[in-house]
A and B are shown apart, each in its own frame.
Chain A
């Protein structure tokens, strides 16, 4: 009887101090008050400091004349251009070096990562040494190593090192022959686009046919034939409108050709070699993460070692590989800001110059943060699409 009485009673609320909801509300209010008061304090200080230093705030400075030169300009830029244009040049340079670095790092990283799983003892050891060396050295040091240790002590332009295909290497950089497209070369571009479109169409139809009838179609070789063959055909038909502008040696310098500056070259090599060591480890972990039973089962079904790798192991390994690969790509993009140390005009370097010239520290840092955040978001977005295509399709 007594126990029933107790059960029917209202549960004791206790003191309101112990109510988790009230506590949480109180704590959050406290956080908000603290946050806003510190923001108010900071803004107050910033305004006071800016007034004292006679710096006008706002983004109006972006429209005034920059007055400094930039060594690598993918778009037209002179010192008479605006600050805004200078920042755009910087952003484009960051994107160029990041994209080139990502491609190179992926190629090197996958090669080394697969090499670490090779049957061959020697190859395995060489790849391990590579990974252990590059993973444990700061990327900035690798950049300096290429820049002041290797490229700066190359011979002067007069004694340039001759490389195959009429290219030269000297302390001012790497000179390649530049392709000059003549009349009618637009046909080649059109043919390339057409080839890609047709390859996509063929792949689509082949997949449908395989689903319906089980018959396979050599999609890969057909696509290669379409994508490579059509532009070559167009090239021949339009009368080979391609000539090369070879770099020529003159007394003090090389003229003509395509010039890759040592800053870009050392940044690209350092970033991609450094990141490749991490990508190699990711690839290795991914391939080892696919259980042996998978490839044994595929072998039991009668697949040969090539199709086992292509159809069974790699698609499963990619699921493990892609998320950490994405963060390595993001790291590479962020590490490209190390360009400032050797004077390659990327976003951080140009924004730093703008910041020093105008004194607009708040706006400058704000622009840098937003730009890198947007770049990171775009990279993650693209990689998420790739990941979604690779992900396990469950019922």
Chain B
């Protein structure tokens, strides 16, 4: 019989060869990503030129030439403008931000009472951080404390007038305190309102549906400034004589109504994405409308639209800066108000103050958008096809 000579079959694996020299290491990466073709090379040269033009200027201005501390405008002005800097100097005037930091954070909140907003901020962070970390247990209790208990505590702490705390009127609030409190209360109010409007828009009752559609589309069609105008000049006319709202509260109503319309559209998107079977399943179990919505549909719909909700919140956080037009002083408003301070009037003041405010806004918004991306990835387990 034929013998099976297997000697031509390898008994051990050949060693893996390294990739050709042209295809590995830094050189290959540069070739692929920077100088792939003639056009690519031109673009790279252009990009390098832009970076070399902008980055050194920015670093010089913001760090190397910047003034970090100082008593008044002289540290940030050149000799010919009456200051101590050499002629031709340009640099950031962080001394201005440094000197006004308390105002930027709290507005004209009385200095001896500033521990109150700080305490609220500490409580807020202490409740928010465990809420954001998925592994920490007891989310329900945490949410109740954050969204129900904290606003009440914060209200009494910030406004005062009880438990021996002196009363602080809202016109004295300002800076980041107003920005954060307006947007936090705005989101807390607009979320339930948005859910109701979204359910109303999908309702089978024609009158409820028409009312929701008219409200949502009208508010979405007009700028926030007009809504704020509405809240600040028309709300007082709507109320009987003698009854009047605080300006802060009026802005809060305007912002919440505005955000609710956008929130409603986001949530409607989530409601539409829930398969019909879920609704029918709930019906066949004999659940009523509110049970069906709160136990079956909304938990799934809200989970789907978390990124949209966070985006709406980011938009609202940025939009709170508009309240300065009805002369309230949020972070941007306080920064802008301080440009008028003759003690700090220099050519660099406006730029430095605005860049500081931009950095604070950017930090919050960027943080939120990154967290929303993280949540999206974490929750993206279910409906993948």
Partner-B contacts on A (CB < 8 A): 24, 27-28, 31-32, 35, 42, 45-46, 48-50, 52, 118-123, 126, 132-133, 135-142, 144-145, 148-150, 152-153, 330, 334-335, 337-338, 340-341, 348, 352, 355, 361-362, 364-365, 368-369, 372-373, 376-377
Instruction: Give the chain A neighbours of B116 by CB distance below 8 A.
Output: none
- With a 10 A CB-CB cut-off, give which of A52, A120, A368 has the most chain B CB atoms: A120
Q: A35, A52, A121, A355: which contacts B33 (Cβ < 8 A)?
A: A121
Q: In the bound complex, what is the Cα–Cα distance between A368 and B222 (angstroms)? A: 8
Instruction: Give the chain B neighbours of A136 by CB distance below 8 A.
Output: 314, 318, 361-362, 365-366, 369
**Segment at the A interface, from B67-75, B100-108, B161-169, B320-328:** B320-328
Cβ-defined contact, B365 with A140, below 8 A = no
Within 8 A of A (CB), among B354-375: 354-355, 357-358, 361-362, 365-366, 369
A-B CB contact pairs (8 Å), 15 listed: A45-B238, A46-B237, A118-B43, A119-B32, A119-B40, A136-B361, A137-B362, A140-B322, A145-B355, A145-B358, A148-B350, A149-B355, A338-B225, A348-B229, A372-B226
Q: In the bound complex, what is the Cα–Cα distance between A145 and B356 (angstroms)? A: 11
Within 8 A of A (CB), among B327-373: 332, 336, 339, 347-348, 350-351, 354-355, 357-358, 361-362, 365-366, 369
Partner-A contacts on B (CB < 8 A): 32-34, 36, 40, 43-44, 47-48, 50-51, 204-208, 211, 218, 221-226, 229-230, 233-234, 236-241, 314, 318-319, 321-322, 324-325, 332, 336, 339, 347-348, 350-351, 354-355, 357-358, 361-362, 365-366, 369
Instruction: Give the chain A neighbours of B40 by CB distance below 8 A.
Output: 119-120
Q: In the bound complex, what is the Cα–Cα distance between A50 and B241 (angstroms)? A: 11
Cβ-defined contact, B362 with A133, below 8 A = yes
Closest chain A CB from B366 CB (angstroms): 5
Closest chain A CB from B339 CB (angstroms): 6
Given A35-B211, A137-B358, 13 more pairs with CB closer than 8 A: A28-B206, A119-B33, A122-B51, A133-B362, A135-B365, A136-B365, A145-B354, A148-B350, A149-B354, A330-B221, A334-B222, A340-B225, A361-B237
Cβ-defined contact, A341 with B325, below 8 A = yes
Q: In the bound complex, what is the Cα–Cα distance between A118 and B339 (angstroms)? A: 42
Q: B205, B229, B355, B357: which contacts A368 (Cβ < 8 A)?
A: B229
Cβ-defined contact, B354 with A141, below 8 A = yes
- With a 10 A CB-CB cut-off, give which of A139, A140, A153, A355 has the most chain B CB atoms: A140
Q: In the bound complex, what is the Cα–Cα distance between A45 and B242 (angstroms)? A: 11
Q: A52, A362, A365: which contacts B226 (Cβ < 8 A)?
A: A365
Q: B205, B241, B332: which contacts A48 (Cβ < 8 A)?
A: B241
Q: Which residue of B lies closest to A274 (CB)?
A: B318
Q: B43, B205, B226: which contacts A123 (Cβ < 8 A)?
A: B43
Instruction: Give the chain B neighbours of A330 by CB distance below 8 A.
Output: 221
Q: In the bound complex, what is the Cα–Cα distance between A365 and B326 (angstroms)? A: 14
Q: Which residue of B lies closest to A148 (CB)?
A: B350
Instruction: Give the chain B neighbours of A123 by CB distance below 8 A.
Output: 43-44, 47
Instruction: Give the chain A neighbours of B222 by CB distance below 8 A.
Output: 334, 368-369, 372-373, 376
Cβ-defined contact, A140 with B332, below 8 A = yes
Q: In the bound complex, what is the Cα–Cα distance between A330 and B217 (angstroms)? A: 13
Q: In the bound complex, what is the Cα–Cα distance between A341 and B225 (angstroms)? A: 10
Closest chain A CB from B263 CB (angstroms): 15
Closest chain B CB from A113 CB (angstroms): 15
Q: Which residue of B lies closest to A46 (CB)?
A: B237
CB-based closest 7 A-B pairs: A136-B365, A121-B33, A334-B223, A149-B351, A122-B47, A138-B318, A337-B223
Q: In the bound complex, what is the Cα–Cα distance between A335 and B226 (angstroms)? A: 11
Cβ-defined contact, A153 with B350, below 8 A = yes
Closest chain B CB from A371 CB (angstroms): 9
Instruction: Give the chain B neighbours of A126 by CB distance below 8 A.
Output: 47, 50-51
Q: B225, B314, B366: which contacts A132 (Cβ < 8 A)?
A: B366
Instruction: Give the chain B neighbours of A352 by CB distance below 8 A.
Output: 229
Closest chain A CB from B289 CB (angstroms): 9
Q: Which residue of A lies closest to B332 (CB)?
A: A141
Q: In the bound complex, what is the Cα–Cα distance between A149 and B369 (angstroms)? A: 27
Cβ-defined contact, A120 with B205, below 8 A = no
Q: In the bound complex, what is the Cα–Cα distance between A248 and B50 (angstroms)? A: 32
Q: In the bound complex, what is the Cα–Cα distance between A152 and B339 (angstroms)? A: 12
Instruction: Give the chain A neighbours of B350 by CB distance below 8 A.
Output: 144, 148-149, 152-153
Closest chain A CB from B17 CB (angstroms): 28
Instruction: Give the chain B neighbours of A24 by CB distance below 8 A.
Output: 204-205
Q: B314, B319, B351, B369: which contacts A153 (Cβ < 8 A)?
A: B351
Instruction: Give the chain A neighbours of B347 by CB distance below 8 A.
Output: 153
Instruction: Give the chain B neighbours of A334 by CB distance below 8 A.
Output: 222-224
Q: Which residue of B lies closest to A375 (CB)?
A: B221
Instruction: Give the chain A neighbours of B225 by CB distance below 8 A.
Output: 337-338, 340, 348
Given A140-B332, A148-B339, A362-B234; A348-B223 close (CB under 8 Å): yes
Q: Which residue of B lies closest to A374 (CB)?
A: B221
Cβ-defined contact, A28 with B207, below 8 A = yes
Given A348-B223, A369-B226; A121-B233 close (CB under 8 Å): no
Q: In the bound complex, what is the Cα–Cα distance between A151 and B247 (angstroms)? A: 33
